[in-house]
Every structure is written in C-alpha cells, then in structure tokens.
C-alpha cells in the first residue's frame, strides 16, 4: 500500500467505538506509510487541501455516502489520480437515494469515471468490492446467493432479482449465514449486482443503499 495515500471521511463511524470499518481503514492508513494518510472527521478544509495537492502517489478517498455528497456539494473538486470509494449509507443524515443517482452526482462533481464501492455489514468479517456500476466481487471464502422474494427457501437463476443470502466462512466464531434485506442479481461473470433494499427494510448497520 505504500504507493497510495489513504484519506478516510467516515464521520458516522468515527463517532462510535468498535467500528470494524474504522479498524480496517486504520490498518490501511498504517500500511500506506504516508504522512498525509488519515481520518478526517470535522476538518474538511484540510481534506480538500490534500485532495487538491499534486502528488506522485495514487489517492484512495474512502467515505460514507453522506460525507462524500457533502464534499461534492460544498467544494469545487476535480480529482486526479484518485479512486473514490463509497462505503454506503446516509445514516439518517440525508435522504436515501438509489446507487445510480448517488454515483452520478459524485462522478460529475469529482470528475472521475467510476465510483468504487464496499459492501459489508456489522455481522460479517468480509466485504465485497465494486470498481463501478454496482457490480461486486467477493473473496473466495464469501458467497452471495440470490433467493426468491416470494419463497425464501428457493434460489433464483442468473440475472433474476431477489434477496441476498450471504455465507462468510471468515466468521469462524459466529453465524456465517445471513439472509439480508438487500436486493440484487447474479451475473454471468460470477459477480453480484446490488440493486437496493426491500421497501419495508429498516435502515441500519453498514448496508449499502436504500432504494426508494
């Protein structure tokens, strides 16, 4: 990671103890060995200054959705040599929006071609990642299957929308099987497209997005 500087804007996570996302980002920040890497809770001006500063390193900007939107609407930023990754969720700070709308705003504001994403939740030790378009890849020990929305015991075929069931073998000391309230579909290349959530689902945890 020493060819990256890691800039993390995760206010809703930094304000509480025990966040696995904060732990993960802290490890990445340490491994980057860059003096600019760090968390930015309230000092957005410093974060923006670093984003505008030219550097030979690549920049990874990781932020919860509402924090990235705040940056996009408040500052004039056209980023270079930067990966923008949203970790999902408005956490009650702003109106929820579907992924396409959120990513469209961020791409236009930051001048990037794609918005990367992390998909994870409190109950899991592993995460899936997307390099754009809401299509996620899982590590080999994590499997996402798509169930029928009308028959929870049945799985649906490739390309059909349903609820997401997750098996995470990294959870060796806890339950590894979770039926989520997220909607998605499996793709021919083995990836999973995350679409949104069931309308009746509560907004909680580290879920990616709530569909209207």
| Residues 48, 24 contacting (CB under 8 angstroms) | no
The residue written with tokens 């390193």 in the block is 57
Which candidate, 209, 27, 199, 28, places its Cα nearest to that of 121? 209
Domain ranges of the chain: 4-114, 139-190
Which candidate, 49, 53, 9, places its Cα nearest to that of 29? 9
Alpha-carbon distances, residue 179 vs 11, 124, 143 (angstroms): 28, 12, 12
Model confidence at 139: pLDDT above 90: yes
Q: Tens digits of per-residue pLDDT, 172-196?
A: 787 789 999 889 999 999 999 998 7
In this predicted structure, what is the pLDDT of residue 16? 65
Q: For the residues 143-152, what does the mean pLDDT come to? A: 94
Q: Tens digits of per-residue pLDDT, 104-120?
A: 999 999 999 999 999 98
- In angstroms, the first-to-last Cα distance of the chain is 37
In this predicted structure, what is the pLDDT of residue 89? 73
135-137, strands of its sheet edge to edge: 38-39, 4-9, 58-63, 82-86, 116-119, 128-130, 135-137, 192-197, 177-186, 162-168, 142-147
- For the CA atoms of the chain, what is the radius of gyration? 17
C-alpha span between 91 and 205 (Å, rounded): 9
Model confidence at 205: pLDDT above 80: no
Q: For the residues 125-148, what does the mean pLDDT come to? A: 94
Q: For the residues 5-27, what does the mean pLDDT come to? A: 80
Q: For the residues 88-100, what does the mean pLDDT come to? A: 73
In this predicted structure, what is the pLDDT of residue 10? 83
C-alpha span between 103 and 86 (Å, rounded): 9
Give the architecture (CATH level 2) of 139-190.
Roll (2.30)
Which H or E run contains 165? strand 162-168
Q: Tens digits of per-residue pLDDT, 50-85?
A: 999 988 899 999 998 889 999 999 998 999 999 999
Model confidence at 206: pLDDT above 50: no
In this predicted structure, what is the pLDDT of residue 136? 96
Q: How confident is the model at residue 169 (pLDDT cuts 50, 70, 90)?
A: very high
Which candidate, 22, 56, 57, 24, places its Cα nearest to that of 40? 22
Which candidate, 70, 182, 71, 81, places its Cα nearest to that of 134? 182
Burial class (CB in 10 A: 0-12, 13-18, 19+), 157: exposed
In this predicted structure, what is the pLDDT of residue 209? 42
């Amino acid at each position: 990671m020493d060819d990256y500087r890691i800039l993390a804007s995760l206010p809703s996570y930094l304000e509480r103890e025990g966040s696995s996302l904060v732990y993960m980002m802290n490890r990445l920040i340490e491994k980057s060995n860059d003096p600019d890497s760090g968390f930015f809770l309230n000092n957005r001006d410093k974060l923006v200054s670093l984003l505008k500063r030219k550097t030979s390193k690549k920049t990874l900007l990781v932020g919860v959705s509402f924090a990235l939107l705040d940056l996009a609407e408040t500052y004039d930023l056209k980023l270079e040599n930067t990966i923008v990754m949203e970790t999902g969720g408005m956490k009650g700070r702003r109106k929820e929006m579907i992924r396409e709308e959120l990513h469209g705003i961020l791409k236009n504001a930051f001048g990037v071609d794609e918005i990367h994403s992390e998909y994870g939740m409190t109950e899991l030790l592993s995460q899936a990642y997307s390099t754009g378009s809401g299509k996620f890849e899982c590590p080999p020990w994590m499997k996402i299957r798509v169930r029928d929305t009308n028959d929870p015991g049945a799985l649906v075929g490739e390309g059909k929308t349903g609820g997401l069931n997750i098996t995470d073998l990294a959870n060796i000391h806890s339950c590894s099987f979770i039926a989520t309230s997220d909607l998605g579909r499996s793709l021919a290349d083995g990836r999973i497209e995350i679409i949104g959530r069931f309308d009746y689902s509560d907004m909680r945890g580290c879920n990616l997005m709530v569909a209207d």
